Amino acid sequence: MKVLVAFLLLLACSASSANSEPSEIVVSIKPIHSIVTGLMQDVGTPELLIKDPQTPYDFSITANETARLKAAKLVIWVGPELEKNLEPIIAQLPSSTTVAELLANSRLKILPSRSDPSLRDPFFWMDDRNVIILVDELTELLIQIDPARSHIYARNRREMLVPLRRIDKEYEYGYRGLKAGIGISYFDTLQYFEQAYALGILDRVTGTPWDTETAANMLKVRNRIQQKEAVCLFLDESMQAENLELIVKDQQINIGKLDVLGRNFSAGADLYLKMMQYNTDVIKQCLNADMDDAATARLAAAKELDNMPDGLRGRFILTDHNGKIFTEQDMQGKYAVIFFGYTNCPDVCPTSLTTLTQAFKRLDGQADKGQADKNQADKKLADKIVPYFITVDPQRDTAKVLNDYVKYFDKRIVGLTGSEPMIKRVVDQFRAKYQKEEIENGQDPLLYTMDHTASLYLMAPDGRFITKFAHGISPDVLADELAANIR
């Protein structure tokens, strides 16, 4: 009996000791902590370093927190552009600690600061597509340091991607073409959101609280508000707008208080989704958006995810960039990467085709390890895939126009055009969207733009749909995903 009691006491002490040990993984801020927490479900809980009410701009690390950082296996932070006070501590961490500086991750879409182009804009998680990529990056990192639980991390990754892809589609539907006013940001926290989802932000007072608020910028913003150029001024819960009164005094403008650091939400796996829903609601309300349009966008996003394309099921006849007839049978036999766009596209199309071209160049150096024939063992993976650029603007994009356009990027890209009904038939098979935007009176009628789905579609050699890649994916990630799907 005494032996049993002693054993139980020892077990209790061991459990207490284990529970009091510092986390082996420390994450600096709440939005990133939320993603890591989701990936670690049923494994453990990462430690959040910067806790409320502190922010990255007033954070002062304690001796105890420094010790916990040094004891950690993995430390994840954004970078000195956000957590400036952490930089000297990070530099002193022992070699046994793996440090992940997310702004230095080449697979994420990291933009230069608009206040100082020599610096990086730290708010990359405001583009949900970056977070989709981040989930994959962090999954790989966790598996590297804890391979025994790789199946749990992989399962959690799959479960997390479902709602992340849903809100990406919601934003794609909800902001492109949304009937709303124009906004101004006090702090430049929305650049990623602007680029990803075509949000209208006219100007900003300053970059982050680390930056100086200049009199010239404040005067410029105040004048724009006076001239009724914007309907909303965006602030942030975690950033003190010291000169707000000087800018808005005696002015009529909506004030929208964003929360890009998740200050209003409890730390946890669901924080990121709640935070993004809150921010998107603030944006729409402050910009006087049509909330019926917003509700319709949510329904459309859910419908699209429930009805992903099966593949090319019907017949079609198009014309390639060399002027030759092209049918669904010509797309058989090899994997196909398909992008819908148009040659007058100002940004999304050139960016996507450049990404595709760079991914193919990376694949050029990868041999197909699955080749049974030794004589074909060095066959490049890129040779198994054909990239297609299908125009959604056949009125302007003739075969000759496409020929000049696609060869600028990569000679392997096949440009396709056709009659408007035939283009619509093909686009509908992918459940993609496109729409001709109205132009103002007096403008050249041929200077219209097209709003369109910006995803890349991967198809199997038999025409089956395999997967879709969101706009904003990096060339390295795209190359890895293509290689994983075609091997």
Q: Is it the case that residue 15 has pLDDT exceeding 70?
A: no
Q: What is the pLDDT of residues 285-313, one digit of tens each?
A: 999 877 666 666 666 655 655 555 555 55
Number of domains in the chain: 3
Residue 160 counted as domain residue: no
Residue 310 counted as domain residue: no
- Residue 325 and residue 421 in one domain: yes
Task: Tell me which of 2-11, 81-90, 241-250, 310-319 is least confident.
Answer: 2-11
Spatial distance between the Cα atoms of 151 and 368, rounded to a whole number of angstroms: 26
- Residue 335 and residue 481 in one domain: yes
Q: What is the pLDDT of residues 431-473, one digit of tens each?
A: 888 999 877 777 778 889 999 999 999 988 878 788 888 888 8
- Residue 332 and residue 183 in one domain: no
Spatial distance between the Cα atoms of 11 and 4, rounded to a whole number of angstroms: 10
- Residue 336 and residue 480 in one domain: yes
For residue 454 the two structure tokens come to 């910006």
- Residue 276 and residue 336 in one domain: no
What CATH number does residue 291 fall under? 3.40.50.1980
Residues 170 and 68: beta-carbon distance below 8 Å: no
Q: What is the pLDDT of residues 412-432, one digit of tens each?
A: 999 999 999 999 989 988 888
pLDDT of residue 289: 78
- Residue 240 and residue 338 in one domain: no
Q: What is the pLDDT of residues 64-108, one digit of tens each?
A: 999 999 999 999 999 999 999 999 999 999 999 999 999 999 889
Where does residue 436 fall: left (phi above 0), alpha (psi -120 to 50 degrees), or beta otherwise?
beta
Q: Which of 247, 272, 305 corresponds to the end of one domain?
A: 305
- Residue 290 and residue 193 in one domain: yes
Q: Is it the case that residue 375 has pLDDT exceeding 60?
A: no
Query: Which amino acid appears at position 262 of this protein?
Result: G
- Residue 330 and residue 475 in one domain: yes
- Residue 146 and residue 41 in one domain: yes
Residues 457 and 464: beta-carbon distance below 8 Å: no
- Residue 370 and residue 405 in one domain: yes
What CATH number does residue 337 fall under? 3.40.30.10
Residue 121 counted as domain residue: no
- Residue 340 and residue 466 in one domain: yes
CA dihedral angle for residue 367, residue 370, residue 374, residue 375, rounded to 10 degrees: -50
Residue 5 counted as domain residue: no
SS3 301: helix
- Residue 330 and residue 478 in one domain: yes
Question: Which residue range forms the structural domain that includes residue 36?
Answer: 19-112+127-152
